[in-house]
Structure formats: C-alpha cells, structure tokens
Amino acid sequence: MLIRYGYEITIECENPLPLVNQMSVRPERKIDLRGAEEFSTNPSVPYSTYLDFYGNYCIRLTAPPGRFTMRSDATIGDSGLPDPVGHGAHQMAIEELPDDVLIYLMASRYCDTDLLTAAAWDLFDLLPKGWERVQGIVDWVNNHITFNYQDADSTRTAHGAFEQKKGVCRDFAHLAISFCRAMNIPARYINGHLGDIRIKPPADPMDFAAWMQVYLAGRWWTFDPRNNAARVGRIVIGHGRDAADVALLSSFGGHRLEAFTVWTDEVDEAGNKIEQTNYV
C-alpha cells in the first residue's frame, strides 16, 4: 500500500530564530519512499541536515522575522500489515541486554521512574514476565488515563499523568514506558505519523502520534498505550528516551504558533486519497 504523509506549520517570530525541525521519516524508512520528501519553506531559507544521537533525521535552519512556514510532503510504501504481535516473547535478563539498550532502562526527563517503581511492582508483579506483562501495563494505562486534546501539558511527567489521570498520547506513552522500566523492561518513546487507515475515522482531527517500543526476546516491539490496538501504516519520525529527545520543533527563542496541519492518508498509484468509508 502507499501512504501520503506530510505537514505544514506556520510560526511567527520577532527576531531571527534558530530552529531544529525533527519531522522527517527515520533513515531506515527512506528506502520505502516513492521519491524524496519535499521540504520547503516560505520565505525560502538555506538549511542543513544531520542525524542526532538516536539516529533521528533533523533539519537545521533559521527563520527570519515575521511569518514563516515549513512544509513537507512525501509518499511511502508500506506492507499494509498491522503491528506484529509476539505473544510469549520473553523478558531478557539485564546482563543479556545489548549495551545500546541499557539507556532505555533509566529514568529520563518525562519518565520519572523512581516515583513510580513502587506502584509498578504493586500493580504488575504477579503478571507473567515478557509480552503478557507489557500488555498488562498497556491495558492498565489505557484504562487509567482519559484522553483529551485540551489536557495537553508540555511539563506533565509520567508521574503527573499517573496522579492526574488525564492527558494526550505522549502521556499514555510516558506512563507505560516508566512502568516498563521500573520492571526492568527496556522501553523507548516513539513519535510519528499514524493516520486513520483501515479503521473508522474518529471525530478528532489528525495529528502526530506518540507510542512506544519495548525490547523483548532480542528485538523491539510496538505497543500503543493510547489506542491499545494493532494499527496499519505507522511512520516513525523519531525515537528516544521520552518526548524531550524527539521534539518536533526545537526553537532557540520566542515564537507564536499560527497554524499546524498534518496529513497521513492511504493513496492509490495515482496519488488519489482512498476514502476509509468501508471500515468500522
């Protein structure tokens, strides 16, 4: 299947504003692109690219004073298969984990594991280790937090979501990640496109989404604490310890967000959008 994805974001600033834009597909998916991602700005400015510590693709540029728009559009090939399921995937002993996975056992800016360790063991200690324990954590988080776009809070940590019982997809992910790490299960935060593909479209407008990956049986597996369902067509933009590592737009100065539009649609070979009217 083919998926057209992209965004258009407009900001306004009073002075020249250095920016890091992290909204491009991860390098390992570039082989699936049907042509290059078409990135542009208005007004046009020079930019450079680099890979950060986690291998995420970043665009570095400076916005001029006034209104400034960044836009990207691309089409990518996808298997059309839902997220893999690994019932029985075992939890590895810490001494068996690869060196580069250990960082995903540690507390981070939004995943304040130290404040949630006691609750994690009280809630999940009796669940079988491995896939079943992770799924139990995801089920619990999905039922514990009430989703509402109006409840977004850029300073809320996992412990805050645990206490307040509200949030957006990043809060679901942060809490589940923190519980997993507290139980010695490596977990990392994922940012990406998740279109309403092959499901009944919800009433909420489309946006970037956050979920998590958990390391079991020698590989990373996708879990989605907010939706708690296997989905089709995830396009990973970035991964890291938590949302602080994969900010969509990092600015080094003040600005106002004027508009932000995201699209992630199944399309045919001619690029026409395939309506999802047959899915319930």
Specify whether 231 is located in the same domain as 257.
Answer: no
Q: How many domains does the chain have?
A: 2
Pair 47, 180 in one domain: no
pTM here is: 0.95
Q: What Å distances lie between residue 79 and 1, 53, 212, 277, CA to CA?
A: 6, 28, 20, 21
- Name the residue among 171, 208, 212 with its Cα closest to residue 193: 208
Same domain (yes/no): 258, 239? no
Residues 105 and 132 both lie in one domain: yes
256 shares a domain with 197: no
pLDDT tens digits in sequence order for the chain, 280 residues long: 999 999 999 999 999 999 999 999 999 999 999 999 999 999 999 999 999 999 999 999 999 999 999 999 999 999 999 999 999 999 999 999 999 999 999 999 999 999 999 999 999 999 999 999 999 999 999 999 999 989 999 999 999 999 999 999 999 999 999 999 999 999 999 999 999 898 877 767 667 899 999 999 999 999 999 999 999 999 999 999 999 999 999 999 999 999 999 999 999 999 999 987 766 5
Give the DSSP H/E element, type plus range, for residue 2: strand 2-13
CATH number for the domain spanning 224: value is: 3.10.620.30
- Token pair recorded at residue 128: 């079988």
Identify which of 258, 259, 254 has the alpha carbon closest to the alpha carbon of residue 15: 254
Domain shared by 98 and 64, yes or no = no
Res 59: pLDDT: 98
Token duo for residue 162: 């645990």
Let me know whether 53 and 14 are in one domain: yes
Domain region containing 261: 2-79+248-267
Query: What's the first-to-final CA gap in the chain, in angstroms?
Result: 19
